[in-house]
Structure 1
Amino acid sequence: MSEALRPVPRHVAIIMDGNGRWANARGEQRMYGHARGEAALFDVVEGAIELGLEWLTVYAFSTENWSRPDDEVAFLMQFNEDLLLRRRDELNGMGVRVIFIGDRNDPRVSDRLRGHIADTEALTAGNDTLHLVFAFNYGGRREITEAARALARRAADGTLDPADIDIGHVAASLYAPDMPDPDLVIRSSGEIRVSNFLLWQAAYAEFSFPETLWPDFRREHLAACVEDYRRRGRRFGGVATG
């Protein structure tokens, strides 16, 4: 009898890692790898739709990435801006809703980029074929800290009793409270770490660490990770049955 497979995950989150190593291996600067990663991203988006995923979150820029060389940071800021301008009509035509999570109000993020983010979210707000979430200027610890501050303010102004604060209150105070927790987190390049990504939401996620560097990652790699996920048993802290 063949093994029963669990359903396709509702939400897959990806740490797009390996751009710099991919470029270095070809004698190019790191920025070349970032640019080539765009093709990987959009092939994976199409693959996610083919697989029937509802949510796809990608780690576009972390709060720690500001420590990279100035020229690389400047490139990534401009790249994200250009990507939205080049691709948002295409994404809208595919029925993709684009959502950004993270601190877009950071003064280091330009007003122009903030405007493109808001325009893209507004343009695609009515779509539901796939929710594509860009974690931009994002850090899991910062997200949880900001949620704690929001709850502290409510407690201080008397609208929330501290004794009533529970997991639901924290979850509702995160950047995207309507976003379901990821079922599967993938990190390309073979590195085995989470790098401050979706720390709260990924509490019970399955993880996959394929060795493929991000610029070479394609929909078939996503499909292989999803197939592996479907063969796993998820217990959420309980005991396996059967």
Structure 2
Amino acid sequence: MRAWLARRFDAAYERVLRHEISGAPSHVAVIQDGNRRYARKHGQDASDGHEAGAETTERVLQWCADIGVDELTLYAFSTENFDRPPEERDRLFDLLEEKLYAFADRDRIHDEGVRIRAIGETHRLPPRVRDAIDYAERRTRDYDQFTLNVAVAYGGRAELLGAARDVARAVDTGDLDPSDVDVDAVDARLHDDPVRDVDLIIRTGGDERTSNFLPWHANGNEAAVYFCTPYWPEFSRIDFLRAVRTYESREESWRRARAERALALLSALGGVELREARSVLDRFRDHAPDGVDVDDDTPTATSD
């Protein structure tokens, strides 16, 4: 009886959360933490935890499709993971190889136009994993409805360092003028194909840190971050919807802050600056503080 009530409650709460969400982040990045702790909790081997986590990954793909996410990046294997015990590391490689082939052959991937690509220092991976990556990328390279990035042998600091070295080499050889070093120049050297700015980072397992994950695309975009306690195999649709709600709250707060700054400019400036401030405010008209009329030349507080 208690389990039945819990299921009914979860179903009702999920409907409430879905009703509260009006949009979706374009790019969600996930740090899938807690597979090993989940296995220990259930008296299993680490490999069993990774297997259970892979099942959650498949569900999250569907949840993203359901609400209209365009890009999903999964932190599957960090550069630090090379330091794990050889038997666990080999099992992770087995799982990566197996899932990459399986995803590339899945009908839903092709029906929904999902492009799979790997990001990271893939040259450090065993040949069999590199072959699986190549297979998945070749089979899906022409799709553009949804992008699934698999971060393998990935480290954000190493990624930025590599881009900085490429920029320095281009300047040294005369292929790039120092005055032309800008965001686009760095972006072009991070990945072969563009990665969208990250809107939302989700980390499971209870740790509240982003672990060097996509620093250029997340920090530069001031991405929302959602930390939750369930281990990755336990991550539920309710947890996912809560994360998206956090993103929406963050976006609302950001827009209101922009509107309030524009109002301050309207009060303090005139001339060209005034017109520029009003153009900012017009874009965030729906988020102006209550009681403010943005149609006049200056903000006017209305009486109660």
Query: Would you call these one fold, judging by a TM-score over 0.5?
Result: yes
Specify the SS of the correspondent of 2:207: coil
Distance (whole Å) between structure 2 residues aligned to residue 93 and residue 38 of structure 1: 21
Do residues 213 (structure 1) and 227 (structure 2) align? no
Preserved contact between residue 224 and residue 246 of structure 2 (Cα < 8 Å): no
Task: Quote how far apart the aligned CAs of 1:239 are.
Answer: 4.3
Is 1:164–2:180 an aligned residue pair?
Answer: yes
CA distance in 2, matches of 1:196, 1:179: 16
Find the partner of 1:135 among 151, 161, 168.
Answer: 151
Instruction: Tell me the number of residue pairs that the alignment of Structure 1 and Structure 2 aligns.
Output: 236
For 2:204, the equivalent position in structure 1 comes to 188
Q: State the partner residue of 2:136.
A: 120
AA aligned opposite 2:254: R
- 2:295 match: none
The answer on whether the counterparts of 2:122 and 2:130 sit within 8 Å (CA) in structure 1 is yes
- Indicate the SS of the match to 2:254: coil
Q: Any idea what the Cα deviations from partners look like across 1:66-117, whole Å, max 9, x if unmatched?
A: 11111111111111001112222112344211011001112xx122221211
Question: Structure 1 stretches (4+) deviating beyond 6 angstroms?
Answer: none
Among all aligned residue pairs of Structure 1 and Structure 2, give the percentage whose two residues are the same amino acid. Answer: 37
Distance 2:146 2:73 in 1: 10
Higher helix residue share? 2
SS at match of 1:231: helix
List aligned pairs for 1:59-98, cutoff 5 A: 59-90=75-106, 91-98=109-116
Alignment partner of 2:77: what SS?
A: strand
Q: Normalised by the size of structure 1, how large is the TM-score?
A: 0.91
RCO (CA 8 Å, sep 6+): is it higher in 1 or 2?
Answer: 1
TM-score by length of 2: 0.73
Maintained 8 Å contact 2:187/2:194: no
Flag structure 1 segments of 5+ consecutive residues without an equivalent. none
Aligned to 1:46: 62
Q: Does 1:222 align with 2:240?
A: yes
Amino acid at match of 1:221: D
Unaligned stretches of 5+ in structure 2?
A: 1-19, 261-287, 289-304
Instruction: Please identify the structure whose Cα radius of gyration is greater.
Output: 2
Q: Separation in 2 of the partners of 1:87 and 1:163?
A: 43
Question: Which residue in 2 is equivalent to 1:99?
Answer: 117
